[in-house]
Structure 1
Amino acid sequence: TWLAYCGDRILDGRRLQSSVLSVRHEFARIHWRSLTKVWFLVLGLTIFLTTKLNLMELVYGALFGVFIGLYFLLQHHPLTRIEAGKYKEFLAGIGFASGTVLFLFVRVDLTALFFLMFILWALLCVVNCLIISVKEITLDKEMGQSSQARTWPKLGRFIPGVLICLILFSLTVCFLDNRWILLSLCFCLSCGGLVQLCRRSSGCGSPLFRVLTDAVLLSPLIFIV
């Protein structure tokens, strides 16, 4: 997932021709050559580590790699970038969620509840991306970057309601099988924290808001590590 995120920023940095307000994009614009070297170094290490994987893990990893490749192509090719950008947060959320649990698919029983929890996790990651998109709508406009927040300007109004629905679905899974109670609690904590961030987003700068949003998304998962 780091390779995907960093690669996305590198390609953004190469595209931008002048300074921008977004701190991370400005950093990538200035240092994209150095970042590219680090990216290829990590890619090489990752390829080496794949020699330790079994066949099914390699298959899942290859499929994930194809997804990321298509994402890069759609989001950065001049002919598709604007249109594909309208769904960027959705694709990024799905990609992150898939990358974080990729190898669980070959290590656990693939029950209906497992798939339901994965869907909830993916939706939570998508909502996380959408919250950031709403906050950074001005920055995206400055860079000429399409986003779901720019496509649907009233999107932010619906996010708290969606998060509450995710809480209810998570509790339903817990009710059906109490073995999921700890993970369900983590989901609820993340959703509740994101709701509070949505309510207080105006009092927080964009870089800090992004950090807080990601921290709220991931921190509750510490309890199940």
Structure 2
Amino acid sequence: MPMGEEGFVTVTRHPLEHRIWHWVFVVTMGMLILTGIEMYFGLRIFGGFSLARSWHVLFAFIAVSWAYPIFLYLYWVTGELKELVPARSDVRTFGQIAKNFLGLSTFYPEHSTYDIEAKKYIRKYNPGQKMVYWGILLFLLVEVLTGFALLWPDAFGFVALILGNMAMVRALHLAVFYVILGLVVVHIYMATIPQNWGSLRSMFLGVASERVHKPDP
């Protein structure tokens, strides 16, 4: 475990399998968003409605298989899943982070530090990151179900039955699209601000220079 500048240590933040999962998911979500925009707004990005629809359906199936069984299995096997599970303390931590972000407080709770003795992260992901992760996965499930109901109304008739009619299915599909787009924009913004460049680089290189955790005296 190489030591960097004083008070920092270089550790593996994102192993190779996590990086592969992340970037495949990025491409998948990007294709779903772009093909959806082409179909709804009539833009010619991939050659017109028919081709965009075919790509949209293909990447919907990829998203379902990649975002759920593979994600849960991969993160469970590597022990990463427990880092993403929300905790009761996240509510207070989120409030502290929000105050700091808005300039109402100079205090920022300990986040993404590394305990050299225990060889593990202390709060690897903050509450906001957890919300974005699970929010995208939750809303993607709604988007897929409503999308399949529009594509195969007979097989997925229960969706229209729950929502009332196909007009509501179509409206929810569009509304959730904008929610997912917003979450993606927030994720990109937070990943690219200067304070998080180290974490962003680790999604390419795997390693990050993290602040060493200092136990309470």
Same fold (TM over 0.5): no
Going by fraction, where is helix more abundant, 1 or 2?
1
Q: Which has the larger radius of gyration?
A: 2
Normalised to the residue count of structure 2, the TM-score between the two structures is: 0.38
Q: Whose RCO is larger (CA < 8 A, sep 6+)?
A: 2
Going by fraction, where is strand more abundant, 1 or 2?
2
Normalised to the residue count of structure 1, the TM-score between the two structures is: 0.37
